[in-house]
Amino acid sequence: MKSTKVYSTQNCPICVKAKNVLTKWGIDYEEVRVDESREGLKEMSELTNGARTVPQITIEGKWIGGFSELTELHMDGDLDHLISN
């Protein structure tokens, strides 16, 4: 399975939702808390062309967007292709 990152903050309910669905779908992920890591915030900003909201999700370093985009990819059947080896 390809590496997945979720850029999030502690008090973000949509971040919790995104992490819960990834877990439900059996997708391992690394959480990067941008409220605790300046380096993580900088990394997120560079990968997402300056996105300022969380969650932001990447797969193999490719930015896919936030929670809405994640669920849309899943519903369209494109997520499996992105995360499979």
pLDDT at 82: 84
Confirm or reject CATH 1.20.1260.10 for domain 4-83, answering yes or no: no
pLDDT digits (tens, 9 = 90+) for 17-31: 999 999 999 999 999
Q: Read off the pTM.
A: 0.92
pLDDT digits (tens, 9 = 90+) for 18-70: 999 999 999 999 999 999 999 999 999 999 999 999 999 999 999 999 999 99
| Confidence class for position 81, pLDDT limits 50, 70, 90 | confident
Do residues 57 and 64 touch, judged by C-beta distance below 8 A? yes
